[in-house]
A = this chain, B = another copy of it.
Amino acid sequence: MGPGIGGQKQVIGADVGGTKIAASLVDMRGSVLSSVRRPTDLGGAEATLDSIADTVKELMAINGLDASGIDAIGFGIPGLVDAERGIGIASVNLGWRNVAVRSGLESRLGIRCAIDNDVRAGALGEARFGAARGLGNWVYLNIGTGISAVIWLEGKVFTGVRGLAGEIGHAVLVPDGPRCKCGGRGCFEAVAAGPAIAERALEKIRRGRASLLAPPGSGPLPDTLTAEAVFGYAALGDSVAVETLKEVGTLTAYALEYLALAYDPDLIVIGGSVVAGSPLLFEVIQNELRELRDTSWVFGRSNSKDLVMLSALGNNAGVLGAAALVAPQP
């Protein structure tokens, strides 16, 4: 088969996670034509690269494509990535340190590959296919296991002097708050990322609050309570879960207000699994932002009601972001 139906160009985007790899065939308008998901093999860098390449090969086989039918493949990778040199510098999730990811994949697939950090890829997907199409100044705020922002100024990613611009996940949001992975206390990430939401709910239960998250008689407190469980029980009206999301949403709104006043962007897009996973959490954030705008005339000038939006790409954000790494500009 040639370069897509009717000569329409197609690329492949692959979202590499610590548990699974998703690869999709994507057209130039950001439509996902076909997808494959496989578990990530974490038995060393070579095995991981094999499992990534195999996922892509399976996608190509299903669609009757060979190497000549695909221009390029983009990969979104967790952790620190040197996109230019094609190196996975460090990834806790994949157990990687200085892995030559791009050349490893190109030699396995015989197709030009591009890699980047998955959050930057997500932002690129939003710019190319999603809510930020055509915008020059906007911010992509990823809230998942961690929190970081990708800053767009005049249509380009702004990285700051040391590549740290947007690392607001590690600014203190709650003085003397929970310990953060970075070593700090009360960082935005330690208060509002997925693990922090689960921990906040657990803490309420440890202090004796009744909750469907840990019903009495159900044994020891779960060590593995997830943000998803909190979202689910909040939707059922569990008071601990609801209260947790109200607190976290309010604090998240403060961090968003600071971001909006620092950069005065056209739009802030929230990506990642956390806010997208809970309509209640997003509603709390929007309500608090509205309250802040209605009381402060300075912040009130900062926006329309649509200053903060959820990613428009939903479950496909990962693969579309990866595809955007190699999709030619329209």
Contact = CB atoms under 8 A, between A and B. Distances in A.
Interface of A: 137, 149, 151, 153, 158-172, 175, 180, 182-185, 187, 250-251, 254, 257-259, 261-266, 292, 295-302
B298 A167 contact: yes
A171 B264 contact: no
29 contacts: A160-B263, A160-B264, A161-B264, A161-B265, A161-B266, A162-B301, A162-B302, A163-B264, A164-B261, A164-B298, A165-B261, A165-B263, A166-B262, A167-B264, A167-B298, A168-B261, A169-B298, A171-B254, A171-B258, A171-B299, A172-B254, A172-B292, A175-B250, A175-B251, A175-B254, A182-B297, A182-B298, A183-B300, A262-B263
A184 to B, nearest CB: 4
Contacts of A171: 254, 257-258, 261-262, 299
A162 B265 CA distance: 8
Given A167-B264, A182-B298, A183-B297, 8 more contacts: A164-B301, A164-B302, A165-B261, A170-B299, A171-B257, A171-B262, A183-B300, A184-B296
A168 B264 contact: no
A299 B262 CA distance: 18
Contacts of A262: 149, 151, 165-166, 168, 171, 258-259, 262-263
A24 to B, nearest CB: 32
Contacts of A257: 171-172
Contacts of A295: 183-185
Q: Which 8 A-B pairs have the closest CB atoms?
A: A160-B264, A184-B296, A171-B258, A170-B298, A164-B264, A165-B264, A182-B296, A182-B298
A293 to B, nearest CB: 9
A166 B266 CA distance: 15
Contacts of A163: 264
Nearest to A163: B264
A242 to B, nearest CB: 19
Contacts of A301: 162, 164
B261 A258 contact: no
Question: Which of A149, A153, A171 is the most central at the interface, judged by chain B CB atoms within 10 Å of its CB?
Answer: A171
Given A171-B254, A182-B299, A153 B158 contact: yes
A137 B164 contact: no
Contacts of A149: 262
Contact of A162 (B169, B184, B264): B264
Most buried by B among A149, A159, A298, A302: A298
A205 B179 CA distance: 34
A180 B298 CA distance: 11
Contacts of A168: 258, 261-262
A149 B254 CA distance: 18
Contacts of A254: 171-172, 175
A298 B170 CA distance: 7
Nearest to A138: B161
